[in-house]
Amino acid sequence: MTAKYAAVKPKRVKMRGENVTVFYGNKQALHGVTLDIAANKVTALIGPSGCGKSTFLRCLNRMNDTIEGARVEGVITLDGEDIYAPDIDVVELRARVGMVFQRPNPFPKSIYDNVAYGPRIHGLTKNRAELDEIVEKSLKSAGLFDEVKDRLHDAGTGLSGGQQQRLCIARAIAVSPEVILMDEPCSALDPIATARIEELIDDLRKNYTIAIVTHSMQQAARVSQYTAMFHLGSLVEMGETKIIFTSPKERRTQDYITGRFG
């Protein structure tokens, strides 16, 4: 089964997966997926539960390395560089390709220390003033600073769900990533918190490349410029979001976006 591009391929490619195949033990979760992630755009990964969206996303920063029995084949590049090459420093890779998860997962530390964590372990700052500056800038980029500026040393876990998720975004941003991966970042949030995150995603793409997994067709249509449709571990088609949502090439995409399955 070959995946089809429903529209022009992205012009500037930040990450590329070529023939990506993943096994968990004997179980094959991805079947030769070839997909480009366009630079400074939002790419939405959609498809029914279990189709391999999270698996593909995790290949992009080698989070599958942490899953026992997971095996990744194929080639994945970041700016043309093979991220599975033997000389790749995985910690550095994950700083360049950050991740935000489904459930907000702040560390049991203060708001400040959550954001300062990455810059500290990567030795990005020379002194406290520089660290303060990164923390403030990251919280501002995540649209959270005004709400927390008077309680930076309170626990991150004391924030609301939506605030916690923005804190996690600030934490991801603090190490100046190039790509941010988001796996259903709004699924635990109410509509207002979701709207804030969606606005934020639109803002962030000026500086970052974003890949987002979502079950909400409305969200995919609102936030993304490209959409990739997965089914049963394969890429069904990928193209400009407005085309995928109005005239997809594949029947399965049409059926999925109109709610006929999944």
Ligand X SMILES: Nc1ncnc2c1ncn2[C@@H]1O[C@H](COP(=O)(O)OP(=O)(O)OP(=O)(O)O)[C@@H](O)[C@H]1O
Residues interacting with ligand X, by CB under 6 A? 24, 27, 29, 47, 49-55, 67
Q: Structure tokens of 11?
A: 């012009």
* 7's tokens: 């529209």
117: alpha, beta or left? (left if phi > 0; alpha if psi -120 to 50): alpha
52 binds, among Mg ion, ligand X, none (CB under 5 to 8 A by kind): ligand X
CB 101 within 8 A of CB 181: no
Cβ proximity to Mg ion, 54 vs 209, nearer residue: 54
Is 141 among the residues that bind Mg ion (CB under 5 A)? no
State the Cα–Cα distance between residues 172 and 161, nearest whole angstrom. Answer: 17
Task: Give the residue with the Cβ less far from Mg ion, 20 or 170.
Answer: 20
- Cβ of residue 17: shortest distance to ligand X, in angstroms? 14
Tokens of 30: 């991805």
**E strands, 55-152, in order:** 70-78, 81-82, 97-100
> Which of 66/127 has CB closer to ligand X?
66
Q: Does 54 bind Mg ion (CB under 5 A)?
A: yes
Residue 55 touches which of ligand X, Mg ion, none (CB < 5 to 8 A by kind)?
ligand X
CB of 67 to ligand X, least distance (A): 5
Quick one: 29 or 238, whose CB is closer to ligand X? 29
Sign (positive/negative) of CA torsion 82, 84, 90, 93? positive
